[in-house]
Amino acid sequence: MSTRPTPAASGMAPEHVARCIFLPYADAAAWAAAAAGAIGAALQLALGSHGRALLLVSGGSTPAPVLGALARQPLPWAQISIGLVDERVTDDAAGRNDVLTRRTLLDQGAQAASFHPLLTDATLDAAAAARDASTWLQGFGIPPSAVILGMGDDTHTASLFPGSRDLAAALTTTQAYAAIDASGCAVAGQYPQRVSLTPAGLARARKRVLLLRGQDKLAAFQHALTVNDAHTAPICVACDTPGATLEVYWAA
């Protein structure tokens, strides 16, 4: 399959294709295998260049099969560090992305990797966690080898929610992570306090992967690119932040 499908084949308008690489797959198994293969290749590239690699992953149900497929790859996991794109600031384990990442990636074969959660048992302070995460990423020594993103029905990515009171500051900060108060944003549900990767944190990533499933998500993504405003449709930062071209893996 071509990595740059024609607009007619992809269902994307020409101007949309120019802003990302759209990779449609006929079934979920092929989608998960292809995305995991691309992420694994990015990690191998970093390992060859630096002797280590850094992967930032998103929570949610969509990435789970991709993370499972990635965990089964024969990668030197002891040389790979894993961090999070965002986190829900809560002591409810059921709502935490670090718990989900352990279950869907580390426990599936990547146990030897170093894992850096965004929260610790010592703090549930979003601002403090964002400062610590920014310091950690800045001091890691190499840029993120790959960042795995998702998108909500409202076009949020990471924890950058349209209408959230901290969105404007998060979009313009020079820090890699920001505290987000998403109170009043329905999609944030019962976890409005968040820590999120920012465009500044995304900019240095060597590979950006967006995982999408379903016609509704595809339509929302296409609409976001038409809106072309990160304040209204935050997923635009994944396409428009300078740096690596966004690769969009989609399956019905």
Q: What is the per-residue pLDDT for 120?
A: 81
Question: Which CATH number fits the domain that encloses residue 159?
Answer: 3.40.50.1360
Mean pLDDT lowest for which of 3-12, 77-86, 145-154? 3-12
Per-residue pLDDT of 177-200, as tens digits, reads 999 999 999 999 999 999 999 999
- Compute the average pLDDT of residues 111-133: 91
**How many domains is the chain built from?**
1
Is pLDDT of 6 > 50?
A: no
Identity of the amino acid at 13: A
Per-residue pLDDT of 14-50, as tens digits, reads 445 568 999 999 999 999 999 999 999 999 999 999 9
Residue 41 belongs to some domain of the structure: yes
Residue 236 belongs to some domain of the structure: yes
- DSSP per position, 176-191: SEEEEE-TT-GGGTT-
Task: Supply the mean pLDDT for the chain.
Answer: 93
Per-residue pLDDT of 50-61, as tens digits, reads 999 999 999 989
For 177, the domain range is 19-251
Is pLDDT of 9 > 60?
A: no
Residue 167 belongs to some domain of the structure: yes
More confident residue, 94 or 199: 199
Task: Classify burial at 125, counting beta carbons within 10 Å of its beta carbon; exposed 0-12, middle 13-18, buried 19 or more.
Answer: middle
Residue 10 belongs to some domain of the structure: no
Per the CB < 8 A criterion, the answer to whether 193 and 88 are in contact is yes
Q: How far apart are CA 31 and CA 249, in angstroms?
A: 7
